[in-house]
Structure 1
Amino acid sequence: METTGQMPATSSLVDLLHHPLRWRITQLLIGRSLTTRELAELLPDVATTTLYRQVGILVKAGVLMVTAEHQVRGAVERTYTLNTQAGDADHDGVDADRLRTMFTVFVAGVGGHLDQYLEREQIDPLADGIAFRQTALNLSDEELAEFLTAFGEFLAPYVAHSPAPDRTRRVLSTILIPD
């Protein structure tokens, strides 16, 4: 498996991910692993050579990692996933600038999902389950830990669902910031 395990320098991360195709690739890989062939099927408007080049850039930067390799007719087919560890705020060396960049990338990703939704011929936010809300939680550190555990346990059975014809892929994004 191949991964650099490192994200690009803070100043170049935003530039790296502001490329429209690289954004589309990262959005498609949220919560799943795909081969370049599968990415190409989901991005029929993108030339294969362009797709391979952009995937390579994302792997080299540590945004994507190779999770599997298979021999297919003399060539190696790689399966890619987002390198979620690279963006974890738990890692050493996260300062205010890096955290701001990570948050910018996250928010831009949410905006990318909204843009994809808005490209549909017909939109019906209510019927399609579009929701975004904010609420304030007043929690002690212990209550926060309890909340996060309960939230994770609540989500676990839903996250485990496999794709199926009667299921729509939906992306749930959460932000938790002390105020």
Structure 2
Amino acid sequence: MATLDLLLHPVRLRILRTFLDGRPATTAQLRERLPDIPPATMYRHVATLAGAGVLEVLDEKRVRGTVERTYRVCWDRAALGPADRAAMTTDDHRRAFTAFVGGLLADFDQYLDGEAVAPDTDGVTYQQAALWLTDEETAELLTEIRAAVTSRTGREPGQGRTRRMVSLVAVPARE
């Protein structure tokens, strides 16, 4: 299993986020997607993630005297286990949530900085709802949402398909 420090490093977090659509990538492709990260930094953090078993090598081929590796994320190894989550302090949760929200803000800024931005027709939504649910009803709702999202992952880019980031936050609201 991954550790909080491994996953919450800003560069490694950005690298992992590029894999959210399930598509493998080489380090060169990662550099194209994250051009602001210096090459040496990218290679070092990819090696760290691979060494921790979070990235898995799918393929290797010789390219101009070097080996080009194609990686994919082992999501079961990129997640904190129940014992790790239970051991997280309040500050650890604060750090993790801040990193999550930072990613959301970066995605939204990237969208807004694009060409022909049309939130009303692009399916952009952000909303919040207050639901009165038992623990069992909450678990059922989250299972349904995960199933709906999971059934749509792994689809290939194609005609009419736009890569969309879907995020979910569920937090008990204190009265």
Specify if TM > 0.5. Answer: yes
Task: Report the counterpart of residue 97 of structure 2 in structure 1.
Answer: 103
- Of the three residues 102, 106, 112, the one matched with 2:106 is 112
1:152 maps to 146
| Amino acid aligned to 2:146 | G
How far apart are residue 137 of structure 1 and its match? Answer: 1.0
**Residue in structure 2 matched with residue 70 of structure 1 by the alignment:** 59
Aligned to 2:123: 129
State the alpha-carbon separation in 2 of the partners of residues 165 and 45 from structure 1.
Answer: 29
Do the aligned residues in 2 keep the contact of 1:65 with 1:82 (CA within 8 Å)? yes
Distance in 2 (alpha carbons) for counterparts of 1:66 and 1:169: 22
Aligned residues between the structures: 167
Distance (whole Å) between structure 1 residues aligned to residue 16 and residue 157 of structure 2:
18
- Between the aligned partners of 1:89 and 1:98, the Cα distance in structure 2 is 14
For residues 45-94 of structure 1, the C-alpha deviation after alignment (integer angstroms, 9 at most, x for no partner) is 6554443234345556x6x8222243311625140427565554733321
Counterpart of 1:70, as a letter, is D
TM-score w.r.t. the length of structure 1 is 0.74
Matched, 1:8 2:25: no
Q: Is the 8 A contact 1:89 1:99 kept in 2?
A: no
Letter in 1 for 2:69: E
For residue 4 of structure 2, give the secondary structure of its aligned residue in structure 1.
coil
CA-to-aligned-CA distance 1:27-57 (integer Å, 9 cap, x gap): 3222323221221333456554443234345
Provide the identity percentage. 31
Secondary structure of 2:149's aligned partner: helix
TM-score, L = length of structure 2: 0.76
Separation of aligned partners in 2, 1:120 and 1:82: 31
**1:38 and 2:29 equivalent?**
yes
Long gaps (5+) in structure 1: none
Contact 2:54–2:78 (Cα < 8 Å) also in 1: no
AA of the residue aligned to 1:71: E
Give per-residue Cα distances to partners, 1:13-32, cap 9 Å, x unaligned: 76x31x6xx56434322232
2:160 aligned with 1:166, yes or no? yes
